[in-house]
Structure 1
Amino acid sequence: MGHCSCCAHGHGCASEKENGVKRSVFQEYWKVGLSFILLIAGIVMNALDVAFFQKEYVALAWYVIAYLPVGIPVMKEAWEGMKERDYFSEFTLMIVATIGAFYIGEYPEGVAVMLFYTVGELFQEKAVDKAKRNIGALLDVRPEKALVLRDHELIVESPKNVKVGEIIEVKAGGRVPLDGTMESEVAAFNTAALTGESVPRNIRKGEEVLAGMIVTDKVIRIKVTRPFDKSALARILELVQNASERKAPAELFIRKFARVYTPIVIGMAVLIVLLPFVYSLFGTHFVFTFNDWLYRALVFLVISCPCALVVSIPLGYFGGIGAASRLGILFKGGNYLDAITKINTVVFDKTGTLTKGTFEVQECKPVSGIAKEELIRLIASVERNSTHPIAKAIVEYAKQQNVELVSTSDTREFAGFGLEATVDGNTVLVGNSRLLSKFNIAYPAELLKITDTVVVCAIGTNYAGYLLLADTLKDDAKTAIDKLKALKVKNIQILSGDKQSIVTNFAEKLGISKAYGDLLPEGKVRHLEELRQDEANQIAFVGDGMNDAPVLALSHVGIAMGGLGSDAAIETADVVIQTDQPSKVAEAIKVGKLTRRIIWQNIMLAFGVKLLVLILGAGGIATLWEAVFADVGVALLAIMNAVRIQKMIK
């Protein structure tokens, strides 16, 4: 746009930017505006019998000038298509129809056909651009600046210019601009933008931090592990915006259909002129008027342009993908949006999919002579300063039980075993059974048979009891199963590597009759292969996207739960649910079914209206004006119907 000389005054660039926007809008619409003004002026002058306009060559010149702003771009498109051997495109149809209209003296109709076709194309582009921008704004939450540590100084830099291995600093309340590993000891992060999870998550030194997370409690430093355009968030953004490349069967059919359909239509238009001419040669009373039959053929051509289908079907799928992404469901393409509507069997992994993957205290078992509250107080007091997830679960449990903690001293950690501390003058051991063995403290043999996580305690040299911890169901796990059953998905199963008794217990709580435990990854693969042997089963597998990569690939639709940081989830799954909620599986099926319904509405609308006007046109009843409505009008209605998906899904 040239150099801005008024930047020094502080406001010049903003006005220049506004002018730039105005200029781009003007450049986009001036051709349509000029054609429309000239067309209306010509029709008005003709109706008022303006003297100079009654001369044939003046009217022709006037309407040619009105035609060129909208006609030349279409001619260019048709020429580009012909160079690629695409001779029968919609652009070719429009040019043949409009030049034919000029030939028979229907100048206003010739201009109108091309004008309204161009308006239809503009609406289509706007609808697609808006859908892409909505998705981009939804997902692209990366900051525009990063604080980089260079030569012992913090420099403000664009994240695009930060190299892998450099250290960046993020202030409390700031959003992380790039993927990396934590350099600071520990900090709490809000991951809602990525996972929809409202509870802050603690990340410790050496663990992965993803672009888009917000630091909630302190200034931290991160070592960058991926460049700006390769972050997990960037890959997902690109994934959704490029999802239109993976075509659904309906899109592929329409594309093939248009290639065959257009030459057939042109052939039929030629026959509309040719057959009456041949019939008139047999000496009948029928009088053949070339211009009348050419007009009918042109009407036929304009009506039969497959714009409504070619535009609205891909836009319908794109709208569905965009609406799903607003719910935190990322489809990798229209084909998966289509495939999910046929699902009748849903197989869930357990840990991290139906369960939280975090521990909660299930049971407190003190030895006789020690109160439950006392055992909880001792264990929680010793664990209070640990950042381990199990320690946090125990401290949280003590808080829920209204147990007050006591001060500890001389705390020592034994890596892989547990902790030793002094409480009220007594030595207290808290950890696993190996810790007690290390200090030669006897404990019941039954502890070794428990498959869930056990935290044992000893006071002095005496065993005092244990806390039993286990994973818990996600808040919406039961809702997820109920919603799937409401959608007539009757075959719901759980596959897990956990002990069968634990898996069965979870399955009973959820109302699932088929649950299989003690499975290694290859066992899950075998189970899915058995399911696939029955061709009636259309299977969706829902997993965490890490250990389950082979099963995700084997299913008809692989759905990864909350695997935003996982390359396996993004690469292997067909659908990624970024909110970590299993109930979104049912939402994904609903979005697929709604998208399919709207697309079929568009197909029926386009074919219905076109067929009606085609019959009227061949009979000489419909004019080019009706033909314009049948083509552009139906295309616009179909586009608006397709865009409606975004508003219907909230």
Structure 2
Amino acid sequence: MGCNCCNQNTESTCSKSKTDSYKIYLPALVSFTMIIVGMFLKHAGLFENNALALAWYIIAYLPVGLPVLKEAFEGLKQKEFFNEFTLMCIATIGAFCIGEYPEGVAVMLFYTIGELFQDRAVGKAQRNIKALLDIRPESSTVIRNGHPVDVIPSTVGIGEVIEVKAGERVSLDGQMLNEYASFNTAALTGESRPRTIRQGDEVLAGMIATEQTVRIRVNKRYDESALSRILKMVQEASERKAPTELFIRRFARVYTPAVTLLAALVVLLPYIYSVVQPLLLPTAVPFQYDFSDWLYRGLVFLVISCPCALVVSIPLGYFGGIGAASRAGILFKGGNYLDGITKVNTVVFDKTGTLTKGVFEVQQLASAATGKEKELLSYMASAEQKSTHPIARAILQYARQQGVDLLAVEHSEEVSGHGLRSQISGHQVLIGNLRLLDANGIAYPASLSAVVDTIAVCAIDQTYAGYILLADSPKDDARTAITSLQGLNINNIQMLSGDKQAIVSKLAEHLGISKAYGDLMPEDKVEKMEALRKNPTNYIAFVGDGINDAPVLALSNIGIAMGGLGSDAAIETADVVIQTDQPSKIATAIRIGRQTRNIVWQNIVMALGIKLLVLTLGVFGVATLWEAVFADVGVALLAILNAIRIKAPDVE
């Protein structure tokens, strides 16, 4: 039967995929069929000749046994004497030596089936994580010489203009040229609600234009886009092992040779006892040593001892956790951070853009000289035109609305924690907070110090020129974020901000944060973080925008970047990135981390517990190779099924 594909190429691909899948399972199918047929032949009395039975089961063994024998041989060449391949080979060859042919084939068959399921589960987890982000379009429409041309996105240069039709996905990061447009950002943030982006704002690769054709001026190359970097980050996440993973791998390296030695002792010690018993206990009932019986018990011990369930299911648990978090719009840079976030008992927030929307609106423009408002706005907006700060964007947006022209900026520099110093049309322009004017010895009305809301003041040629009053508001889920963290027994919640103490205290009271510090310079935030770190019981998560807060993010145990998709610093510095810009996702991230940790330890306890039980039964001759197969392959499959049930919990 042909596959229901839409074209010949796709049909060929589907057929090839089905053929490859068939080839993978064919050896196991052949061996399984031959075991069943062999049992019927024995029941019919056709295997009275032992040589015929041996030949039949050797043929049945080869399809599933040869690949494992090859792996064991390769391991021996690399001086890896104790691994699951070596154990399986010893166990199955030993079974043949004592005449247990069907069981020898069955052990290798079910081991192979278990490995196939494990590979499939791990591969699916890896593909699911990659599919969450590998959504980059394969072509891009670029405007060249006034005409649209379809090209490969990697060939589009910075500064070129691309066109995205309604329903198409954006291929590269850039600045919006249309006045405004609506985009579906679900692929990046997990949020189904469309987002409106205005002229000059950032548009990211992976977004979908929903209502109209838009044009975007590219500002990053294809492999430098936020989406490309995040995809790389998620792919590399599996390489950053959690402490539990590292422990299990170290444990397996010691555990495997240890149980191999124990299996040998299971065979040898009874023989030694049978030799020395007449000398030590001459009156006791003689111990009858049966080599085949004790070799069988040793082989059972070997099969059970394989650490597959641990080595495979533990990393799969972390894959599941990273995947669940990604589906919720939370990116962990590795299993170690997924593990680390479960220890967090102190959360420190930045304010602007983290707990507040970071979208300022101009409330008032006041000039020191009557009738000079537009001139003042022109200087302030011109100075801010290169800045990405939310206040700068608000001032520029207001200037556009007022129809104010921008002036040429001859020179501009940032004064850390204060504002900007610029040279515009031959005039020195200072714009920032009141500390900037204080530092430059510029007098201003005392009443400005009493203003509670955010204020940006300006001085031209060392003379106070006026101010702009702006307002920001808390994010819709900011209050939920705090109560959710408190519900997780995280009660040490603090806020650090460079904004005025009055504004910070007002927001903290509204959200239920007990400790809030304002008027902080970047170095003051570092000082506060270092003070928290001095208490060894504090395991700190810092939540910021990943740009101005990079030093504090690096100092924290777990650095979390809010809405950092477009921020290089967020991608590089933070350990966790919240794509949805929702602070309530922090509690979700902690829940996913805790759920992952619980499942990982459930797998460890289950695997070791069942193995220990069947090992004991095997030594006393109660367990057979069939039980041994369950204790190895069956437990591995149960652990995998347990691991893949990790899902993102809803925010309470």
Equivalences for residues 211-290 of structure 1 within 5 A: 211-216=205-210, 218-282=212-276, 284=278, 285-290=286-291
Name the CA shift for 1:393/1:599 in 2 (closer, same or farther; >3 Å): farther
State the Cα distance separating 1:21 from its structure 2 match: 1.6
Is the CA contact (8 Å cut-off) linking 2:592 and 2:648 kept in structure 1? no
Report the 3-state secondary structure (helix = DSSP H, G, I; strand = E; otherwise coil) of the residue aligned with 1:201.
strand
Name the CA shift for 1:565/1:11 in 2 (closer, same or farther; >3 Å): closer
**In structure 2, what is the Cα distance between the partners aligned to 1:517 and 1:453?**
12
Name the CA shift for 1:455/1:238 in 2 (closer, same or farther; >3 Å): closer
Corresponding residue of 1:33: 29
**In structure 2, what is the Cα distance between the partners aligned to 1:136 and 1:96?**
38
State the Cα distance separating 1:232 from its structure 2 match: 1.2
Gaps of 5+ in 1: 1-8, 366-378, 380-386, 396-407, 418-431, 435-442, 457-464
Report the 3-state secondary structure (helix = DSSP H, G, I; strand = E; otherwise coil) of the residue aligned with 2:359.
strand
Establish whether residue 291 from structure 1 lines up as the match of residue 285 from structure 2: no
Deviation digits for residues 453-500 of structure 1 (CA, Å, limit 9, x no counterpart):
5699xxxxxxxx999541100000000000111111010000000000
Is the CA contact (8 Å cut-off) linking 1:545 and 1:572 kept in structure 2? yes
Corresponding residue of 1:136: 130
Corresponding residue of 1:589: 590
Is the CA contact (8 Å cut-off) linking 1:454 and 1:468 kept in structure 2? yes
State the Cα distance separating 1:451 from its structure 2 match: 5.9
State the Cα distance separating 1:85 from its structure 2 match: 2.0
Is the CA contact (8 Å cut-off) linking 1:189 and 1:203 kept in structure 2? no
| Range with bigger deviation, 273-282 or 340-349 | 273-282
TM-score, normalised via structure 2 length? 0.82
State the Cα distance separating 1:362 from its structure 2 match: 7.4
Name the CA shift for 1:10/1:356 in 2 (closer, same or farther; >3 Å): closer
**In structure 1, what is the Cα distance between the partners aligned to 2:115 and 2:134?**
28
Name the CA shift for 1:391/1:564 in 2 (closer, same or farther; >3 Å): closer
Deviation digits for residues 256-294 of structure 1 (CA, Å, limit 9, x no counterpart):
111111111111111111111111222631122211111
**In structure 2, what is the Cα distance between the partners aligned to 1:412 and 1:586?**
44
**In structure 1, what is the Cα distance between the partners aligned to 2:648 and 2:527?**
42
Corresponding residue of 2:382: none
Is the CA contact (8 Å cut-off) linking 2:325 and 2:648 kept in structure 1? no
Letter in 2 for 1:202: I
Letter in 1 for 2:299: L
**In structure 2, what is the Cα distance between the partners aligned to 1:36 and 1:634?**
21
Equivalences for residues 292-331 of structure 1 within 5 A: 292-331=293-332
Letter in 2 for 1:567: D
Is the CA contact (8 Å cut-off) linking 1:361 and 1:394 kept in structure 2? no
Name the CA shift for 1:433/1:355 in 2 (closer, same or farther; >3 Å): closer
**In structure 1, what is the Cα distance between the partners aligned to 2:396 and 2:566?**
25
Report the 3-state secondary structure (helix = DSSP H, G, I; strand = E; otherwise coil) of the residue aligned with 1:356.
coil
Establish whether residue 176 from structure 1 lines up as the match of residue 176 from structure 2: no
State the Cα distance separating 1:44 from its structure 2 match: 2.2
Name the CA shift for 1:364/1:567 in 2 (closer, same or farther; >3 Å): closer
**In structure 2, what is the Cα distance between the partners aligned to 1:290 and 1:563?**
67
**In structure 2, what is the Cα distance between the partners aligned to 1:10 and 1:642?**
36
**In structure 1, what is the Cα distance between the partners aligned to 2:107 and 2:521?**
64
State the Cα distance separating 1:74 from its structure 2 match: 1.4
Name the CA shift for 1:514/1:215 in 2 (closer, same or farther; >3 Å): same
**In structure 1, what is the Cα distance between the partners aligned to 2:138 and 2:247?**
42
Name the CA shift for 1:433/1:181 in 2 (closer, same or farther; >3 Å): closer
Name the CA shift for 1:257/1:415 in 2 (closer, same or farther; >3 Å): same
State the Cα distance separating 1:28 from its structure 2 match: 1.4
State the Cα distance separating 1:168 from its structure 2 match: 2.5
Q: What is the RMSD of the two structures over their aligned residues, measured on CA atoms?
A: 3.2
- Equivalent of residue 78 in structure 1, options 68, 72, 83: 72
State the Cα distance separating 1:64 from its structure 2 match: 1.1
**In structure 2, what is the Cα distance between the partners aligned to 1:218 and 1:501?**
44
Letter in 1 for 2:232: E
State the Cα distance separating 1:31 from its structure 2 match: 1.1
Is the CA contact (8 Å cut-off) linking 2:329 and 2:580 kept in structure 1? yes
Letter in 1 for 2:404: E
- Equivalent of residue 109 in structure 2, options 115, 119, 127: 115
Corresponding residue of 2:197: 202
**In structure 2, what is the Cα distance between the partners aligned to 1:414 and 1:203?**
19
Name the CA shift for 1:467/1:649 in 2 (closer, same or farther; >3 Å): closer
TM-score, normalised via structure 1 length? 0.82
Establish whether residue 47 from structure 1 lines up as the match of residue 43 from structure 2: yes
State the Cα distance separating 1:548 from its structure 2 match: 0.7
Deviation digits for residues 373-411 of structure 1 (CA, Å, limit 9, x no counterpart):
xxxxxx9xxxxxxx974697999xxxxxxxxxxxx9xx7
Deviation digits for residues 564-595 of structure 1 (CA, Å, limit 9, x no counterpart):
11111111111111010001111111111111
Name the CA shift for 1:20/1:348 in 2 (closer, same or farther; >3 Å): same
Deviation digits for residues 420-477 of structure 1 (CA, Å, limit 9, x no counterpart):
xxxxxxxxxxxx999xxxxxxxx99745753635699xxxxxxxx9995411000000
Letter in 2 for 1:623: T
Name the CA shift for 1:537/1:283 in 2 (closer, same or farther; >3 Å): closer
Name the CA shift for 1:45/1:454 in 2 (closer, same or farther; >3 Å): same
Corresponding residue of 1:427: none
**In structure 1, what is the Cα distance between the partners aligned to 2:154 and 2:67?**
37
Report the 3-state secondary structure (helix = DSSP H, G, I; strand = E; otherwise coil) of the residue aligned with 2:480.
helix
Name the CA shift for 1:449/1:41 in 2 (closer, same or farther; >3 Å): same
Letter in 1 for 2:600: I
Corresponding residue of 1:63: 57
Equivalences for residues 192-591 of structure 1 within 5 A: 192-196=186-190, 198=193, 200-205=195-200, 208-216=202-210, 218-282=212-276, 284=278, 285-359=286-360, 389=394, 413=404, 415=406, 446=447, 450=451, 452-453=453-454, 469-591=470-592
Corresponding residue of 2:96: 102
Letter in 2 for 1:266: T
Report the 3-state secondary structure (helix = DSSP H, G, I; strand = E; otherwise coil) of the residue aligned with 2:358.
strand
Letter in 1 for 2:44: L
Name the CA shift for 1:26/1:615 in 2 (closer, same or farther; >3 Å): same
Corresponding residue of 1:383: none
**In structure 1, what is the Cα distance between the partners aligned to 2:6 and 2:488?**
59
| Range with bigger deviation, 220-229 or 353-362 | 220-229
State the Cα distance separating 1:171 from its structure 2 match: 2.0
Q: How many residues end up aligned between the 2 structures?
A: 576
Corresponding residue of 1:638: 639
Gaps of 5+ in 2: 279-285, 367-376, 378-391, 409-429, 433-443, 458-465
State the Cα distance separating 1:194 from its structure 2 match: 2.4
Report the 3-state secondary structure (helix = DSSP H, G, I; strand = E; otherwise coil) of the residue aligned with 2:137.
coil
Deviation digits for residues 105-134 of structure 1 (CA, Å, limit 9, x no counterpart):
111111111111111111111111211222
Name the CA shift for 1:21/1:648 in 2 (closer, same or farther; >3 Å): farther
Name the CA shift for 1:10/1:630 in 2 (closer, same or farther; >3 Å): closer
Corresponding residue of 1:398: none
**In structure 2, what is the Cα distance between the partners aligned to 1:361 and 1:308?**
60
Aligned residues: percent identity?
Answer: 62
Name the CA shift for 1:504/1:335 in 2 (closer, same or farther; >3 Å): same
Is the CA contact (8 Å cut-off) linking 1:299 and 1:622 kept in structure 2? yes
**In structure 2, what is the Cα distance between the partners aligned to 1:291 and 1:115?**
22
| Range with bigger deviation, 139-148 or 84-93 | 139-148
Corresponding residue of 1:402: none
Is the CA contact (8 Å cut-off) linking 1:148 and 1:154 kept in structure 2? yes
Letter in 2 for 1:40: I
Is the CA contact (8 Å cut-off) linking 1:195 and 1:562 kept in structure 2? no
Is the CA contact (8 Å cut-off) linking 2:114 and 2:633 kept in structure 1? yes
Deviation digits for residues 323-356 of structure 1 (CA, Å, limit 9, x no counterpart):
1111111111111111111111000000000000
State the Cα distance separating 1:189 from its structure 2 match: 4.0
**In structure 2, what is the Cα distance between the partners aligned to 1:416 and 1:448?**
29
